[in-house]
């Protein structure tokens, strides 16, 4: 009857609006990805590749570091706690093992659940992304 093709049409339209994931995610939902895509660099709009999954690779900062260090592209790191709250970290720069901060003004932290929000470092006087470079930090020998 009328409207019986509604859900399949919606899925077809949605498939063209969000990047494809190379593997299923138990953390990142289609609505969450739809909200994030506005912040992702253009290179991410065609698809996202999983670099690390605690479910498949184990709960280890060292394994996470080994999976992302040296990856030449933007990355989205997702975390979900036992209460179902989800946060994401967008790093548009290459991850490096260092004692120094890294990243660029496009880096951001998001909450995806229970509600969406975006946090960026802003220059207070201009309301624009800050020119400072203290955005992200990774040093597995220090446990961060």
- Residue 22: C-alpha distances to residues 19, 25, 48 (Å): 10, 9, 6
End-to-end CA distance of the chain: 57
pLDDT tens-place string over residues 60-74? 888 888 888 888 888
What global pTM score does this model have? 0.72
Q: Which of 43-52, 78-87, 128-137 has the lowest mean pLDDT?
A: 128-137
Distance between CA 122 and CA 109 in Å, rounded? Answer: 13
pLDDT given at position 34: 85
């Amino acid at each position: 009857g009328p409207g019986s093709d509604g859900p399949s049409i919606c899925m077809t339209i949605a498939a063209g609006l969000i990047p494809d994931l190379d593997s299923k995610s138990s953390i990142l939902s289609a609505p969450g990805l739809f909200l994030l895509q506005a912040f992702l660099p253009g290179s991410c709009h065609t698809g996202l590749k999983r670099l690390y999954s605690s479910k498949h690779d184990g709960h280890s900062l060292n394994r996470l570091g080994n999976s992302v260090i040296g990856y030449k592209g933007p990355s989205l790191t997702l975390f979900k706690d036992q209460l179902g709250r989800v946060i994401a970290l967008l790093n548009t720069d290459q991850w490096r093992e260092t004692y120094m901060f890294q990243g660029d003004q496009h880096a951001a932290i998001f909450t995806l659940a229970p509600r969406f929000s975006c946090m960026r470092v802003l220059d207070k006087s201009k309301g624009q992304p800050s020119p400072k470079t203290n955005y992200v930090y990774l040093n597995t020998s220090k446990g961060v």
